[in-house]
Structure 1
């Protein structure tokens, strides 16, 4: 029996010719057979597009990663861990030694057998202490590289320099795909996914073909094309003209239009969020009173009603709502213009003027949310200049004083590390430049704690600090809404990533 075992999550055993099929059921009324080509319209993309499995940034990158590469474990559609390239990941009683048993009979797209050595070298690339990549920030600080070893072709033993009860969740990130010898060749990228590389042009499109020797259920499609769209209108127009068959992140104000034209709409409840990010190390946001004021300016329900067309739930400046340890007992923050004015006055920031950077490649919610926030801020005497950048994800990303970003679902501890720790300690996407030692120590202590009740208390304390002092305005959590044409079937809603975790291998046209 294929199994997964671990401490970090519950065990799981392993003008259009649309046809109306909408809601949260599996997508599509057409297809069902083998063969054909699917063209997917991905949000974002540009000259910095990448096929590197360990450095995706925007949705187009992520959709490519999810079809070309695979990690050791998967997050499934219910946001639960299940086996992928590892049949099991088993911790010692003190969570310091983890044994990874590799799935047998898996080959890379070049025909080479996948071994524990490939897994270890891929982890080492990601977790290089001198230059950790997206999934490797915390791994680089907790792995004992000298003591860890490849036991044999099927077994990898990872030894940690500290207990870490959630290592399995780190190994399931889509940014930790296993590649041959841990080496990425941009001219000929090789993974284990259901689709193999054919061609790639940054900012435009990429093409993949079915890998017939895939270890799981082989893809039905002959070919997958992923096309970049920096503009939501262009993306939807291409969909309505039957130039693409699926798109991620359908603008919420167009849901009824697509349904009315007979298009399929795939809805999923998840923990996706599009925050406003305030750099806590730069004026004016280096004053916590200004950050608190900005959080009180936003009318959260209006944001949901107007930018999400009601397809969302209230946020409370904390992330990870699917985590069982989410601090839902903290008072719901609401708009309070008088208190915001008082805080700004006490900070000497009356008549505050700030520039807010946004962009279409963040997602369809970003620009409308930025404009609405600018309107709401006027009531507190704050002037917000909205600057739309194309692309948003350029060399300035992670340097903006006041901006937005998009995040998919993660549990609290790994999200806190990647999003609030200093870069050298794992914060590879720390937009706010948050560096709070007390918070960091609580998160690290929670990650080490095997006792779940004690871990929950530590996580709650960490969340309270972010709730009171953090640099994120998390006004809501959006439903994931994507679209598909009548010829497409096999899609399933996912709490994790768009279009059923971008698993186009299950799709037929």
Structure 2
């Protein structure tokens, strides 16, 4: 399939999100008081060198992704519970083997110029998505994506996969068949492009949209090249909403009556990968000692400025199927020291701990963890690498390094992509036959009970003997004018879905 890690993160397969008002909770309350009209001024991060208008390319600017998500529709979108909702696709179903999936296009779906959306448009877009940007983004071969009549699309998979509706979230933007010039941005989404210049755009309400019509007349998007500039703009009143602005600006805005701080839980995981196949952390007792040696609450307070929650070493904390019955680990330095002695861990030497300045707080987390683990006799030398060097030399190879994920609402997605033996992105070198079998069973499950049981087994194994230290989850922080209502509150790329927002 050929995904690279950045595409995996950007795909929104998590990727956490809010795209349908019925699918999630939001800030504010519509309860009859919502009003139509007005222009929402939004700031988002981006740089001129990475501007991209092709909806099937790698949209590394938040500003580009925001524009694209409002102008174009994906087949499905993330939601709360269940974690997938329809967008351009009104429904989907699979065969008994979970290998052949059929998606039905929503009634009344049209492009901005009034042309009806057909299965030919969707098939062409999905096939194009496989190759644009340098790597496949679809879990099916081009010839296995076909039309079944004018409004149904079939995706045939090489292996059973209960997660396909999730895998096509926030990435499967549909364009007109044969379109390669996106200057006019003729999409199917809730807003139309009125003007665009240098990464900044003005979008106006699409009166033809097949979903619930937006209330806003327009959204104006301004690109900012730094979090500091973005935060200053919303604090100074130049914009109404600063998207993904971070904890520092959040603290500054707290208590101001003219502003609101929107906290989106389970937005980002900043954790640690411990190599399980060989090296100093291969013994499960050593990994357990590391997990017991950290103070999770202190990490959340210091690294995320308190804008976050303690986690328990399982990826995918926002998944409706997340096992809340797993015991919460607490710091126990005595037990940690005992485990290190039993494993004959060499506390007389220092171990490199690699990190990179990618996610907010990631480097700081490595320094805090190194300080905490010194209390159990584990000496770590924190080494910060440039991002490209990190992915070339450290990722998938080093015994101990930091990791970050912005897609946190599916335990099974992460299990399959980064923990199964066959994965080429196995961050911890984890090889466990029981884990592989449970993951495969969940992917092929034919009923809810079978799926839930398999997912619990996957999580229990990860909790007991996996290679991750997942100490906490950072909230996503947006700052908005107090006049803005019904903003997204789910983690991940939910922040881009503003079609239900309104201004008092």
TM range (shorter): 0.7 to 0.9
Question: Are residue 235 (structure 1) and residue 230 (structure 2) matched?
Answer: yes
Q: 1:395 to 1:435 in 2, by over 3 A?
A: same
Question: Are residue 273 (structure 1) and residue 268 (structure 2) matched?
Answer: yes
Q: Is the 8 A contact 1:195 1:208 kept in 2?
A: no
Q: CA deviation at 1:391?
A: 9.2
Q: 1:132 to 1:26 in 2, by over 3 A?
A: farther
Q: CA deviation at 1:508?
A: 4.1
Q: How does 1:161-310 map to 2 (within 5 A)?
A: 161-171=158-168, 173-181=169-177, 185=181, 190-196=186-192, 198-199=195-196, 201=198, 205-210=199-204, 212=206, 213-216=208-211, 217-218=213-214, 220-230=216-226, 232-252=227-247, 254-268=249-263, 270-278=265-273, 280=275, 291-310=287-306
TM-score for the superposition, normalised by structure 1: 0.76
Question: Are residue 453 (structure 1) and residue 440 (structure 2) matched?
Answer: no
Counterparts of 1:434 and 1:110 in 2: how far apart (Å)?
51
- Give the alignment partner of residue 152 of structure 1, picking from 149, 152, 167: 149
* Number of the residue aligned with 2:473: 477
Give aligned pairs, total.
Answer: 470
Kindly report the root-mean-square deviation, in angstroms, between the aligned alpha carbons of the 2 structures: 4.1
Q: Is the 8 A contact 1:25 1:266 kept in 2?
A: no
Q: How does 1:63-462 map to 2 (within 5 A)?
A: 63-76=66-79, 80-109=83-112, 112-126=115-129, 133-134=136-137, 136=138, 139-140=139-140, 149-171=146-168, 173-181=169-177, 185=181, 190-196=186-192, 198-199=195-196, 201=198, 205-210=199-204, 212=206, 213-216=208-211, 217-218=213-214, 220-230=216-226, 232-252=227-247, 254-268=249-263, 270-278=265-273, 280=275, 291-341=287-337, 342-343=339-340, 346-348=344-346, 350-359=348-357, 362-363=359-360, 365-379=361-375, 380-385=377-382, 387=384, 401=398, 402-421=401-420, 431-432=427-428, 434=430, 436=432, 438-462=434-458
**Counterpart of 1:331 in 2: which secondary structure?**
coil
Q: CA deviation at 1:475?
A: 0.9
Unaligned ranges ≥5, structure 2: 1-19
Unaligned ranges ≥5, structure 1: 1-11, 15-22
Q: 1:236 to 1:158 in 2, by over 3 A?
A: closer
* Number of the residue aligned with 2:14: none
> Deviation string for 1:171-224 (max 9, x for gaps)?
3x11222233386657665532234455475xxx44242253433314624342
Q: CA deviation at 1:115?
A: 1.4
Q: CA deviation at 1:64?
A: 3.9
Counterparts of 2:130 and 2:409 in 1: how far apart (Å)?
19
**Counterpart of 1:346 in 2: which secondary structure?**
coil
Greater alpha carbon shift after TM alignment, 348-357 vs 275-284: 275-284
Q: CA deviation at 1:102?
A: 0.9
Q: CA deviation at 1:117?
A: 2.0
Counterparts of 1:46 and 1:356 in 2: how far apart (Å)?
30
Q: Is the 8 A contact 1:46 1:391 kept in 2?
A: no
Q: CA deviation at 1:150?
A: 0.9
Counterparts of 1:87 and 1:467 in 2: how far apart (Å)?
36
Greater alpha carbon shift after TM alignment, 217-226 vs 474-483: 217-226
* Number of the residue aligned with 2:39: 36
> Deviation string for 1:378-417 (max 9, x for gaps)?
3234234253758999878956841232323322222323
Counterparts of 1:499 and 1:146 in 2: how far apart (Å)?
31
> Deviation string for 1:428-477 (max 9, x for gaps)?
x7554656554333212211111222222222222233223433221123
Greater alpha carbon shift after TM alignment, 185-194 vs 311-320: 185-194
Q: 1:53 to 1:99 in 2, by over 3 A?
A: same
